[in-house]
Amino acid sequence: MESGGKPGNRASDKTGTRANPPTRPDSKALTLAVRCWGIVCGLALVKFGNPVIMEGFVSWPSDGFEWLLSPWPLTLGYGLVALALGLSLRAMPGRRGWNPRWLALAPAAWLAWQCLSALDTVDRALTRLTLPHFIVCGACFFAGYKLLALRPTLRGFWAVCAAALLWVLAYGVDQRFRGLPETRAFILEHEATHWQNFPPEERSRWERSGVLIRTAEGWTAHPMLLEKARSLRISSTLFYPNTLAGALLLFGPPVLWAVATTPLLTTGARALMGSIVGGGALACLYWSGSRSGWLVALGLGLVTFLVWPWPRTTKLAVLTVLTVLGLGVFAFRHAAFFQRGAPSVVARLDYWEAAWHTAWEHPWLGTGPGTFQRPYEQRKRPESEMARLAHNDYLQQASDSGWPAALFYGAWVWGGLIWTGRRLWRQPAHEGFFVWLGLLGWAVQSCVEFNLYIPALAWPAFLWLGWLAGGTGENDSTKPAHPA
């Protein structure tokens, strides 16, 4: 017991972060709750990879094949989270304080502001889809801090995440070599006949949904569909290729750590599994064609080797080779894109300009959570394609819910990363560093994507951020530990 303190208080280190989180003996309830959260993260990656505002386009699976391969309605995801929260409340051993307190106040203030903004939304339907998802994000963070932080390591948890990531990689490989070529051949075959031989009922349905456009000769596929069919960019179980890249950035580092350090495999088996996971993730990232994903992954690799405890000359050589090779592959892969004038970059600038002006027109409460598309419909340039999301989570927070929401969200995400990273930076071989590395990639890519609105990315990210904030990531968890 510290002098003048109460029993159970923990000392703080120089950075103000708890050196050891409050821990209690393992219990069946705690183990069950942690495993349930692992299932939530794994199923989220595989089944809940669409933006929440597009939930209306996700139908209930009708047979076993669709249950296996198709996305699931978010209602099931919310049910799983509710189950995990119920188990968490049962397993939590009494009250725990917050250190630092602002890291608890930031998400609480953000959620409160979202509720205020929802009262004056311009589209209640979109806000009704978005607000429950935001509440789940907050619940995941608090569960990570209050429950997962009772574990010094999440090895058993990562086993579920590794299985889910392997499924995503296998799905992506199949998509690249079978699914997309067959789809492209199907579309181009019917394009040659102007879809005259296509079943009339299906043709009418596709025309109503905008997939087919009537022409003088018959019908033609939407230009975006033709472009995607020709590009062969994979998205696996996620919404689109850049979302797949975000999943690889987030899940890749901690899963690779878990595979490389597990005591359940021999050295050779760990090397084989690491090659499968790492090589598969790198291949799928390349096939996704995500420019931001590739550059962020390169940056994460540079950060890892920069802090790794190697001799300076070795470190310099590795960093040089990695930079030259990474940028060389990027230039080769995307040369045609830049020759076309980088159209997606131009489109994003249009989204951001609209979000910026909307944020200043509605500085306090915005237009309502999830409603970016409504003001963008009025502001978009005639030549720009329609967008439902701003492709910048931080700017969309200001546009949708006002500048206070953007401030609270930025403090939550980046404040949490800086707070937890100060010590983890000096422990590059530890579990927490690789979790932090995945979160860093997710947060950086959110500057050009809408990762906050994808449950497959947002729910695990905030759960893991809560775990790190709870202090668990600072323990020496590279040693074999009792699995969760």
CB hemisphere CA count around 34 (13 angstroms):
27
Instruction: Please report which confidence band the pLDDT of residue 92 belongs to, taking 50, 70 and 90 as the band edges.
Output: confident
Judge whether 266 lies within some domain. yes
Cis before 254 (ω within 30): no
Asked if pLDDT for residue 96 goes beyond 90, the answer is no
Q: pTM for the complete prediction?
A: 0.90
Asked if pLDDT for residue 26 goes beyond 90, the answer is no
369: left (phi over 0), alpha (psi -120 to 50) or beta: beta
Asked if pLDDT for residue 239 goes beyond 80, the answer is yes
Instruction: Please report which confidence band the pLDDT of residue 443 belongs to, taking 50, 70 and 90 as the band edges.
Output: very high
Quickly count: other Cβ atoms within 10 Å of residue 353's Cβ.
Answer: 15
**CA angle (466 as vertex; 462, 468 as ends), nearest 5:** 115
Q: Which position has the higher pLDDT, 291 or 89?
A: 291
Asked if pLDDT for residue 181 goes beyond 70, the answer is yes
Stretch 146-153: mean pLDDT: 88
Judge whether 40 lies within some domain. yes
Stretch 52-56: mean pLDDT: 95
Instruction: Please report which confidence band the pLDDT of residue 4 belongs to, taking 50, 70 and 90 as the band edges.
Output: very low
Q: Which position has the higher pLDDT, 102 or 98?
A: 102
The residue among 73, 68, 103, 66 whose CA lies nearest residue 418 is 103
Judge whether 211 lies within some domain. no
The residue among 252, 236, 247 whose CA lies nearest residue 300 is 252
Asked if pLDDT for residue 7 goes beyond 80, the answer is no
Judge whether 406 lies within some domain. no
- How much is the pLDDT for 169? 98
Q: At residue 473, what is the residue type?
A: G
Q: Which position has the higher pLDDT, 481 or 373?
A: 373
* Unique residue bearing structure tokens 């999830």: 370
Domain containing 173 equals 28-179+232-306+429-474
Judge whether 81 lies within some domain. yes
Q: Which position has the higher pLDDT, 239 or 10?
A: 239
Judge whether 127 lies within some domain. yes
Using an 8 Å Cβ cutoff, are 29 and 87 in contact? yes
> Which of 95-104, 113-122, 233-242, 352-361 is predicted with the least confidence, judged by mean pLDDT?
95-104
Asked if pLDDT for residue 124 goes beyond 90, the answer is yes
Judge whether 449 lies within some domain. yes
Most confident by average pLDDT, 120-129, 140-149, 344-353: 120-129
**CA angle (131 as vertex; 130, 137 as ends), nearest 5:** 95
Q: Which position has the higher pLDDT, 84 or 90?
A: 84
Judge whether 101 lies within some domain. yes
Asked if pLDDT for residue 123 goes beyond 80, the answer is yes
Instruction: Please report which confidence band the pLDDT of residue 367 belongs to, taking 50, 70 and 90 as the band edges.
Output: very high
pLDDT digits over 334-361, tens only?
A: 998 888 888 889 899 999 999 999 999 9
Domain count, the chain: 1
- How much is the pLDDT for 11? 39
The residue among 109, 102, 100, 108 whose CA lies nearest residue 142 is 108
Instruction: Please report which confidence band the pLDDT of residue 222 belongs to, taking 50, 70 and 90 as the band edges.
Output: confident
- How much is the pLDDT for 480? 39
- How much is the pLDDT for 476? 40
Which percentage of the chain shows pLDDT scores above 70? 91
Torsion of CA 478, 482, 483, 484, to 10 degrees: -110
- How much is the pLDDT for 223? 81
- How much is the pLDDT for 94? 64
Stretch 410-424: mean pLDDT: 95
Residue 273, CA distances (Å) to 208, 349, 484 in order: 47, 41, 21
Asked if pLDDT for residue 421 goes beyond 70, the answer is yes
